[in-house]
Amino acid sequence: MRVAIIDYGSGNLRSATKAFERAAREAGIEASIELTDKPDVVAAADRVVLPGVGAYADCRAGLNAVSGMNEALVEAVENKARPFLGICVGMQLMSSRGLEKTTTEGLDWIKGDVIEMTPSDPDLKIPQIGWNTLELNSPHPLFDGIATGPNGLHAYFVHSYHLAAANPAEVIATTDYGGAMTAFVGRDNLAGAQFHPEKSQKLGLALISNFLRWKP
Amino acid sequence: MTLKARVIPCLDVKDGRVVKGVNFLDLVDAGDPVEAAKAYDLAGADELCFLDITASSDNRETIFDVVARTADHCFMPVTVGGGVRAVTDIRKLLLAGADKVAINSAAVSNPDFVAEAADKFGNQCIVVSIDAKKVSAAGEANRWEIFTHGGRNPTGIDAVEFAGRMVERGAGELLVTSMDRDGTKVGYDLELTRAIADSVRVPVIASGGVGDLDDLVAGVKQGHATAVLAASIFHFGTYTVGEAKRYMADHGIAMRLD
């Protein structure tokens, strides 16, 4: 199995790559993890991962700057329906629009806007940085065997914005930060985590293993 | 369900080696920062901080190797500080596997660097490290001043006001170290921590002076920090990270114990 992690100048790419390698090894999955900026590698991959840190507009510009990458994403994810995982801003880019600093068009795979979080408790800090638990709204193969809820495993978050999805059914999991913030979205072969699976120890490695096994 | 307070062990690294030997567990090489990082990872540390105090620029490359080898084994957030002065420094650290960088003296000498770094890598990636000393006399209103060069050089800059300016420039988090307390084991300067934490929207990490676990509890409850950093109590095996987290949980602070 060929897993393409898209390198478009954003993100802690080494840790993402290492986490996927480790998860594959522990799960006994034969996978070659390729960190790549080559559209043909992405178009031909069996699974595609889009990481991302920073501002929405900058990440979108970075992705657009790689010639042919948007087309390769459409080919792999829309036409061939390969399993796709977006991470952090990579997940936010799945939305219709990002409203951080300016309005930026996203990939429009999950309808909705990425908006600033406004926690009900004014004492809560922005960005949300640290470990929080997840509330699963509906079962999803990527959460198989992962304990969620207040006593479940923790995920590592670093974000000031979240994806306000138009269709609540596409919000698979939320996290409580002065209200329910979108933590995980999904539909068909598309999945996206606002948190960082590659930094979330137990929960993260389990989720990545599930992604590698996933047959949507 | 809520965001948990973080416990962050900090390792001082010089020329690729831990400065004071780390005295816990059965490390193969107590001077290897990566061995220490792996042990802290297993012990449940919520994040890890490397402070590079390498003096010679010739040996600056050593920290990249330390960070890269850590990222091979530890799937937890890593912050690296010390000698971060240019966008290229940050890019190299992030590519090696760091998640955040802590900017210290460069933030004082060139505040625009913080803005440039935040624009390029996102606010979430930029921690501004504030080293402050109390300069108000007894009986006066509290006042703290920024010091550079390990607390030797006064700058005349008010610490609370500086904190606000750094957040405006794009700092996503502040690491607040009391230079009066650093290494004393008498506890954080809680008034300093709280003065800054209450004046900014971003998370504050308390640092400098931890002697026992009550100090960690006080850092959150009285200092209003969302994360607590400590070095020697963990290195010397006085307490484990796990003990610290359980103690904080027993004192009513929401902690991650999985």
Q: What is the ipTM for the molecules in this complex?
A: 0.92
Rounded CA separation A50/A190 (Å): 11
What is the torsional sign of CA B129, B133, B135, B141?
positive
Residue position matching structure tokens 């914005």: A161
List CB contacts (< 8 A) between B170 and chain A: none
pLDDT at residue A11 greater than cutoff 70: no
pLDDT in tens, B175-228: 999 999 988 899 999 999 999 999 999 999 999 999 999 999 999 999 999 999
> Which of B2, B3, B94 should we substitute to test contact with A (largest number of A Cβ atoms within 10 Å)?
B3
Beta bridge partners of residue A158, listed in sequence order: A129
**Between residues 72 and 131 of chain A, which touch chain B (CB distance below 8 Å)?**
89, 124-131
Q: Among A74, A7, A49, which Cα is nearest to A192's? A: A49
Distance between A80 CA and the closest CA of chain B, angstroms: 31
Angle at A120 between CA A118 and CA A121, to 5 degrees: 110
pLDDT in tens, B22-68: 555 555 666 889 999 999 999 999 999 999 988 777 778 899 999 99
Question: Rounded mean pLDDT of B144-150?
Answer: 89
For residue A141, cis peptide bond before it (omega within 30 degrees of 0): no
Query: Average pLDDT over chain B, rounded to whole?
Result: 92
Q: What is the pLDDT of residue B1?
A: 54
Which comes out higher in pLDDT, residue A101 or B169?
A: B169
pLDDT in tens, B243-252: 999 999 999 9
Q: Among B247, B253, B161, which Cα is nearest to B210's? A: B247
* In contact, A132 and A158? CB cutoff 8 Å: no
For the annotated catalytic residues of A, the residue numbers are 88, 196, 198
Q: What is the pLDDT of residue B131?
A: 95
CA dihedral B227→B232→B236→B241, nearest 10 degrees, is 0
Q: What six digits make up the tokens of B246?
A: 């359980």
Distance between A18 CA and the closest CA of chain B, angstroms: 6
Rg of chain A (C-alpha set): 16
Q: Does A13 touch chain B (CB under 8 A)?
A: yes
E-state strands within chain A: 2-6, 32-36, 47-50, 84-87, 95-98, 104-105, 110-116, 128-133, 135-136, 154-159, 161-165, 171-176, 180-187, 190-193
Distance between A61 CA and the closest CA of chain B, angstroms: 12
Q: What is the pLDDT of residue B20?
A: 63
Please state the pTM of the whole predicted model. 0.94
pLDDT at residue B150 greater than cutoff 60: yes
A124 CB-side CA count, 13 A: 18
Rounded CA separation A137/A170 (Å): 9
Q: How many CB atoms lie within 10 A of CB A113?
A: 18
pLDDT in tens, A65-112: 999 999 999 999 999 999 999 999 999 999 999 998 899 999 999 999
Question: Rounded mean pLDDT of B77-97?
Answer: 91
Rounded CA separation B6/B189 (Å): 18
DSSP letters along A141-172, please? GGGTT---STTS-EEEEEESEEEEESSGGGEE
Task: Return all residues near A30 (Cβ < 8 A) that are at least 6 apart.
Answer: A1, A24
List CB contacts (< 8 A) between A159 and chain B: 124
* In contact, A49 and A20? CB cutoff 8 Å: yes
